Amino acid sequence: MAISRPAIENTKKIKDIFMQADIHWMAGTRLRSGSDFLTQLKEELMPLPQPTLFVSDPAPVHSDAVLSDLHTQIPEKLCFFRKARTPSSEEVRNTAEEWLRRGIASVVVTGGGSTIDFAKAVAHCMAYPSTFDQEPSSGLVFNTSWSPPHLPMIAVPTTMGTGSEVNGKSVVDFAGKRRLVFHWGMYPQSAIIHAPFFRGMPEEVLVGGALETMARLVVPVVSSESPIRVADSLAVAQVRALTEVVNRLLTDPGDEQARFDLAMITVTSVLTLHQLGRSQFSYWLWYLVNELNNFDLTKQQSLATLMPVWLELVRDGEIPGREGLSRMEAELSPTAHSAKTSPSGLTGTLLGMTSRLTPSPSTGLNARTLTDSTWRDWGQGLRQVNIGEHHVERVFSELLSPAT
């Protein structure tokens, strides 16, 4: 069978289609939650082809009694333990070859975003190995073929924020540059959200996940308008719920129900219904985060520093979104709704989260270099949402200024 090339990089027609603002990319992942994790897992496993490989981050498995006991019942040859880290293209290729030799037919992956990203990328490589043959020329790697299908996969997240358990993307390191690999088949078949699995999340990781979810919801709605009114209504409802959950977590980081609520809000935000009628690039700040990640800054560090800068520049009218921010804050005001927020609730919550995180160090970084790299990888998409190169440089310049 012929293997299709990564068409987003090689076929102008498909690339142009992807760049259209009126296409909404969402596929279905069956979402489950509740108290009986083992029964739900068994039900999801029953129709899967065998053998099933259990891919896991050892840290949550060893710290949770249910997961630990489950793995003692799985044959050793069907357990694949891997510490959490961003997968490299070389690791993905080598692991795909291994799984093909072993005849792996389905996967259960347990862990945080990078662990789930790894399993999805390997499954993609098993079907489309050419995707990982060479370093991409842009930030997006998008193979448009629908056949052959991917391995069916069950995702069991133990952290929240990335939403990798319900999306069709993986962040993969290509020769030191993080790239976004996307494919229809990379959506897990099902995801099981089990509240106790989030108990072990450190406070900083927990708050970082909340900040990532907030940014995913707020930046697109503030930065661009949608002709579909329900999109904004859904965003405001999710932000209101998230604000209430974050306030509970900032008061008591150990609140198990609040952690579960945050996980479910993360999942619904990843469905990106708030981006209906908006460009896929309307969450444009993510591409700046991605660039900072290429300089070994964590996503939490990057967001903790970028979000206050973004808020300040939006309020000052130096980057798009001042009217959108005012509208969203008005919607979140208790004078408009009975939610437990204050008139400055959105800003206060964002700044409250960033104050709990370690900001990114600026030593050795250069605004022009960061801008050039970001624009080279994502400029075409950023133009689509009226973000110019000067906007990108303004954000990085403010980020790296001594007063920031």
Are both 244 and 96 inside the same structural domain? Answer: no
Tally the domains of the chain. 2
Evaluate whether residue 104 is within a structural domain.
Answer: yes
> What are residue 193's phi and psi, to 5 degrees?
-100, 110
pLDDT at 297: 84
Are both 33 and 178 inside the same structural domain? Answer: yes
Query: Residue 65 to residues 77, 158, 199, 329, 348: CA-CA distances in angstroms?
Result: 21, 13, 12, 43, 38
Residue of higher predicted confidence among 223 and 358: 223
User: Taking the CB of residue 35, how many other CB atoms lie within 10 A of it?
Assistant: 9
Q: Domain boundary at 163, 197, 231, which?
A: 197
- pTM of the prediction? 0.88
Are both 155 and 277 inside the same structural domain? Answer: no
Whichever domain contains 250, its CATH number is 1.20.1090.10
**Lowest mean per-residue pLDDT among 127-136, 150-159, 321-330, 346-355:** 346-355
Evaluate whether residue 258 is within a structural domain.
Answer: yes
The two tokens of residue 159 are 């952290």
Residue of higher predicted confidence among 209 and 23: 209
Whichever domain contains 168, its CATH number is 3.40.50.1970
Angle at alpha carbon of residue 278, lines to 274 and 281, rounded to 5°:
100
Angle at alpha carbon of residue 44, lines to 38 and 49, rounded to 5°:
125
**Lowest mean per-residue pLDDT among 17-31, 59-73, 236-250, 389-403:** 17-31
Query: Quick check: 192 and 227 in contact, CB under 8 A?
Result: no
For residue 80, the cross-strand partners are 55
Structural domain of 11: 7-197
Q: Is the pLDDT of residue 153 over 60?
A: yes
22 band by pLDDT with thresholds 50, 70 and 90 = low
Cis preceding linkage at 6, omega within 30 = no
Are both 160 and 25 inside the same structural domain? Answer: yes
Evaluate whether residue 166 is within a structural domain.
Answer: yes
Evaluate whether residue 247 is within a structural domain.
Answer: yes
Evaluate whether residue 2 is within a structural domain.
Answer: no
Evaluate whether residue 375 is within a structural domain.
Answer: yes
pLDDT at 237: 94
pLDDT at 320: 94
Share of the chain above pLDDT 90, in %: 62
Evaluate whether residue 1 is within a structural domain.
Answer: no
Q: How far apart are CA 200 and CA 300, in angstroms?
A: 17
Are both 312 and 192 inside the same structural domain? Answer: no
272 band by pLDDT with thresholds 50, 70 and 90 = confident
Are both 266 and 158 inside the same structural domain? Answer: no
Average pLDDT over residues 81-101: 97
Are both 13 and 35 inside the same structural domain? Answer: yes
Q: Is the pLDDT of residue 43 over 90?
A: yes
Residue of higher predicted confidence among 135 and 151: 151
User: Who's near 403: CB < 8 A, 6+ residues apart?
Assistant: none
C-alpha radius of gyration, the chain, whole number: 21
Average pLDDT over residues 66-86: 96
pLDDT at 136: 83
Q: Domain boundary at 142, 168, 197, which?
A: 197
Are both 109 and 172 inside the same structural domain? Answer: yes
241 band by pLDDT with thresholds 50, 70 and 90 = very high
Q: How far apart are CA 194 and CA 139, in angstroms?
A: 33
Q: How far apart are CA 144 and CA 27, in angstroms?
A: 14
15 band by pLDDT with thresholds 50, 70 and 90 = very low
Q: How far apart are CA 4 and CA 283, in angstroms?
A: 29
Are both 190 and 241 inside the same structural domain? Answer: no
Are both 190 and 288 inside the same structural domain? Answer: no
Q: Domain boundary at 130, 162, 197, which?
A: 197
Evaluate whether residue 226 is within a structural domain.
Answer: yes
76 band by pLDDT with thresholds 50, 70 and 90 = very high
78 band by pLDDT with thresholds 50, 70 and 90 = very high
Sign, Cα dihedral of 272, 357, 246, 396: negative
Are both 165 and 238 inside the same structural domain? Answer: no
pLDDT at 171: 94
Query: Quick check: 79 and 56 in contact, CB under 8 A?
Result: yes
Mean pLDDT across the chain, nearest whole number?
Answer: 87
3-class secondary structure per residue, the chain? CCCCCCHHHHCHHHHHHHCCCCCCCCCCCEEEECCCHHHHHHHHHCCCCCCEEEEECHHHHHHCHHHHHHHHCCCHHHEEECCCCCCEHHHHHHHHHHHHHHCCCEEEEEECHHHHHHHHHHHHHHHCHHHHCCCCCCCEEECCCCCCCCCCEEEEECCCCCCHHHCCEEEEEECCEEEEEECHHHCCCEEEECHHHHCCCCHHHHHHHHHHHHHHHHHHHHHCCCCCHHHHHHHHHHHHHHHHHHHHHHHCCCCHHHHHHHHHHHHHHHCCHHHCCCCCCCCCHHHHHHHHHCCCCCHHHHHHHHHHHHHHHHHCCCCCCHHHHHHHHHHHCCCCCCCCCCCCHHHHHHHHHHCCCCCCCCCCCCHHHHHHHHHHHHHHHHHHCCCCHHHHHHHHHHHHCCCC
317 band by pLDDT with thresholds 50, 70 and 90 = very high
pLDDT at 359: 64
**Lowest mean per-residue pLDDT among 4-18, 80-94, 115-129:** 4-18
Q: Is the pLDDT of residue 106 over 90?
A: yes
The two tokens of residue 125 are 């490589």
- Tell me: the pLDDT tens digits for 361-397? 556 789 999 999 999 999 988 998 999 999 999 999 9
Are both 144 and 268 inside the same structural domain? Answer: no
Q: Is the pLDDT of residue 343 over 90?
A: no
- Tell me: the pLDDT tens digits for 155-186? 999 999 999 999 999 999 999 889 999 988 89
301 band by pLDDT with thresholds 50, 70 and 90 = confident
